[in-house]
Amino acid sequence: DAKTTQPPSMDCAEGRAANLPCNHSTISGNEYVYWYRQIHSQGPQYIIHGLKNNETNEMASLIITEDRKSSTLILPHATLRDTAVYYCIEKFNNAGNMLTFGGGTRLMVKP
Amino acid sequence: GAVVSQHPSRVICKSGTSVKIECRSLDFQATTMFWYRQFPKQSLMLMATSNEGSKATYEQGVEKDKFLINHASLTLSTLTVTSAHPEDSSFYICSASGPPQETQYFGPGTRLLVL
C-alpha cells in the first residue's frame, strides 16, 4: 500500500501557482520523496525528488518540511498542459527499489 | 536525457495469441527495469522487477509463466504476454533506472486489447 496521502483532486487557475501537498509521516531517514505526474493515456513523467533540502528544477519546486513528514510540489505558473494526476512517492535510492503508486492528486488547470 | 521508449504503442490481438512488448532505455544504461500494469481509472500496479542478466522478480498474484520477462541487455527488456485473454487487456508501462541516482524513468506505455 502507498505510504503517502494526497488530496484526490485540486483545481488551479491558469497562470497561477499550483501547490500540491503530500503527507508522508512515516518516511524513514534514507527515503527520498519523488514526484511524478501522469497525463491521460501516457506513461508517468518524472518531475523532481528530494531528501531533506528544498529542490528546484525547470519543471517545479519541492518544499520539504524540516521534520520531513510532509512536502509540497509547486508548479509556479500552471498551464493547461499541467492538467494531470500527480503522484508523491517515498523511495530508497538503492538499485531495484520499486515505486508504489497511490491514488495521487488529479490537478485540473482551468482557463 | 533519460528517455525510455516502448514498442508497440498499441496492439490488438486475438485471444490465445502471444504479444511481445519491448522497452528500451535510449540514453542510459538501465541496470533495473520495471513492468507495471494500469487498468482504467486505477493507479499503476507493479508486475515485476528485472535486473540485467538475471531472472525477474514477480509481485504476488502475477503469473510468471504467463508474463515472460527478459532483460538481456542494459538497454532492453521485453514483456511477453502468453496466451492472452480479454482480461489481460490493459495499459502496460515499463520504467528503467540506473546508477547513480536510480531515478525511474517511464516509457510511454503500450495499450493492449485482446479480443
What is the full per-residue pLDDT of chain B (115 aa) written as tens digits?
Answer: 689 999 999 999 999 999 999 999 999 999 899 999 999 989 999 999 998 888 899 999 999 999 999 998 999 999 999 999 999 999 999 999 988 778 999 999 999 999 9
Q: Does B97 touch chain A (CB under 8 A)?
A: yes
Return the pLDDT at A93: 78
Q: Which residues of B touch A101 (CB under 8 A)?
A: 36, 43-45
Minimal C-alpha gap between B43 and chain A (Å): 6
What average pLDDT does the segment A27-37 reach?
Answer: 93
Out of B36, B46, B102, closest to residue A95 by CB? B102
Residue B11 to residue B52: CA distance in whole angstroms: 26
pLDDT of A1 strictly over 60: no
Q: What are the φ and ψ backbone dihedral angles of B75, each rounded to 5 degrees?
A: -130, 0
pLDDT of residue A92: 83
For B67, other C-beta atoms within 10 Å of its C-beta total 19
pLDDT for the residue A96: 73
Contact across the interface for B102 and A46, Cβ inside 8 Å? no
Q: What is the mean pLDDT of chain A?
A: 93
DSSP state of A38: E
What's the pLDDT at A20?
98
Burial group, residue B38, by CB count within 10 angstroms (0-12, 13-18, 19+): buried
Residues of A with Cβ-Cβ distance to B44 under 8 angstroms: 38, 44, 99, 101
The mean-pLDDT minimum among A25-34, A69-78, B82-91 falls in A25-34
A22 pLDDT more than 90: yes
Of A37, A40, A41, A80, the residue nearest A60 (C-alpha):
A37
Q: Given an 8 Å threshold on Cβ–Cβ distance, is A95 in contact with B31?
A: yes
pLDDT surpasses 90 at A97: no
What does the pLDDT read at residue A6? 97
**Buried/exposed A83-105: b ≥16 CB within 10 Å, e otherwise:** bbbbbbbbbebeeebbbbbbbbb
Chain A residues near any Cβ of chain B (below 8 Å): 34, 36, 38, 41-46, 49, 87, 93-104
DSSP state of A98: P
Q: Is B5 on the interface with A (CB under 8 A)?
A: no
The whole-number pLDDT of residue B1 equals: 61
The pLDDT, as a whole number, for residue B98 is: 86
Set of chain B residues whose Cβ sits within 8 Å of the Cβ of A34: 103
Whole-angstrom distance, CA of residue A39 vs CA of residue A36: 10
- pLDDT category, A3, cuts 50, 70, 90? confident
